[in-house]
Structure 1
Amino acid sequence: MKDEEDRPTLPDLADLWQETMNWQPEAGQHAQFQSFYELILESNRQLNLTRITEPSEFWEKHLWDSLRGISRLLPSPPSLFRAIDIGTGAGIPGVPVAIVRPDWEVTLLDSTRKKISFVQSAVDTLKLENIKTAVDRVEQIGHDRHHREQYDLGLIRAVATASVCAEYTLPLLKVGGLAILYRGQWTDEEAQGLAVAVEQLGGTIEATDAFVTPLTHSTRHCIYLRKIATTSTMFPRTIGIPTQDPL
């Protein structure tokens, strides 16, 4: 075991949290972020969970970026509701979200069993009782009555094109629910294509949030989709079809 002083340590950066989100994590939440970071580093060689391992880069690209997407929901009063992180991988953005919103029930979904096994182990170590994990394809659970139209919030990051992400998320949301698509660059052409897809899925583009990351000053976008009508039972289409033939 490494000595305490040899452990990579995440920067605190409370002022940056406050400046960029009008919010900052409590000491206990920061400690959980640190423990989560260490668990990822320990398992990363075997599982290839992330290429982002340097402390400041991890803080910005995994923790800050994850929470920037839900920043408009962070200061809100506690309200028990259900969120799902689709294609969670190493548990991002779902684990950071669950840490800062312990009143939410967060489901972490991935089709790779080894990744979900890691995430479940991390969840157990961190004692995050508000997290559930699932190994499955989103095209399948989108037709499962335990998941279809059962969620208030859908998170999807670095998974596929925006229209495919919409087809994955909107069938899982209740009417009135919100999907957050985490994107890098964003073009008018992509926006037009997404609008066409979202209309077929019972949704609308509520907002497009462009922002710059606080350390590397990279441009990022979060696209917010509001579900306004029940999604047709033809969606999501069968495994592989959404990516092969986007709406």
Structure 2
Amino acid sequence: MTDTISHPLAGPLDRGLNALGLPLPPAVQRRLLSYLDLIAQWNRVYNLTAIRDPGSMLVQHLLDCLAIVQPLRREAGQAGEGSSGLKAGCRVLDVGSGAGLPGVVLAICEPEWSVTCVDAVAKKASFIRQVAAELQLTNLTATHQRVEDMDDAPFDLITSRAFATLSDFISLTTARLAPGGRWVAMKAHLSPEERAGVPANVEVFHVEPLTVPGLDAARCLVWMRPQAG
């Protein structure tokens, strides 16, 4: 029996996932679409995002963030023999998370990852907490503070999406990165000037072009780690 999903954007989401080579169970797809509905609902009052059209939100927010799931699984899988992704219980910090992008998406797709979203805007942290409650995402937490003021235990992976320059991203989060951890920044593009501004003790070890289904715009992932020694 086919497990159909009753939602106006179920078809476009499924086609986008196929284009990304990212098969997700129907239950996960339902949560992603419920998350999109919550963004639209809160957006009417709290202005979480400038994008209002649900179809545009699907492409520019949801698929944009889903495009990084396979690269994260692949890169993390190289750290452990036989691993298909970050180890169970791996700690992920999403900085300047806004409406939870990509942190909420990662928490939905990878229930064994422990994801913390931090944002300096109270209403955005409150929204993510509501998402975690309504979608029963026990692996998702949100904190309202500046990342440089956090005193949480270190994180294995620190992400950001259009948050700041790489140099600022690194300087604000270095204290939160666990030994052997990685930074990964979602960018439209990486200019030579921005790359040159990365501290000498940090290695940009991979710049990965991304293709987002339905989005005619440049996207890339910038992978970084502390220099050995």
Q: TM-score, normalised by structure 2?
A: 0.84
User: Which 5+ residue runs of structure 2 have no aligned equivalent?
Assistant: 1-5, 75-83
Render the CA deviation track for 1:48-83: whole Å, top value 9, x for unaligned.
Answer: 101223233222221222132232233625522000
- Seen in structure 2, the aligned counterparts of structure 1 residues 130 and 217 have a Cα distance that, compared at 3 Å, is same
The match for 1:188 among 182, 188, 192 is 192
Q: Summarize deviations over 1:183-236 as a string: whole Å, max 9, x none.
A: 112222221122xx2x2xx43111011233321321111101123469xxxxxx
> How far apart are the structure 2 equivalents of 1:86 and 1:121?
18
1:18 partner amino acid = N
1:153 to 146, 154, 157: 157
Find the aligned partners of 1:90 and 1:11 in 2 and give their Cα distance.
23
Confirm or deny: 8 A CA contact 2:121 2:144 kept in the other structure: yes
Aligned length: 214
Indicate the residue corresponding to 1:94 in structure 2.
103
Equivalence for 2:77: none
Q: How does 1:76-155 map to 2 (within 5 A)?
A: 76-77=84-85, 79-141=88-150, 144=151, 146-147=152-153, 150-155=154-159
State the 1:155 CA deviation: 0.8
**What secondary structure, in the 3-state scheme, does the structure 2 residue paired with 1:74 have?**
helix
SS at match of 2:215: coil
Task: Check whether the contact 2:19–2:213 (CA below 8 A) recurs between aligned residues.
Answer: no
Alignment of 1:3-18 (within 5 A): 9-18=9-18
| Mapped contact 2:67–2:212 kept (Cα < 8 A) | no
1:163 aligns with 2:167: yes
Which digits, 9 at most, give the CA deviation of each residue in 1:79-134, with x for residues without a partner? 22000111111111100100000000001111111111111111100000001111
Say whether the 8 Å CA contact 2:9–2:33 is kept in structure 1.
Answer: yes
Contact 2:92–2:159 (Cα < 8 Å) also in 1: yes
- 2:207 matched to which residue of 1? 208
> Percent identity of the aligned residues?
29
Q: Give distance in 1, aligned partners of 2:13 and 2:144.
A: 35
Q: Shift of residue 10 of structure 1?
A: 4.9
> In the aligned structure 2, how far is the partner of 1:40 from the partner of 1:16?
19
Equivalent residue, structure 1, for 2:183: 179
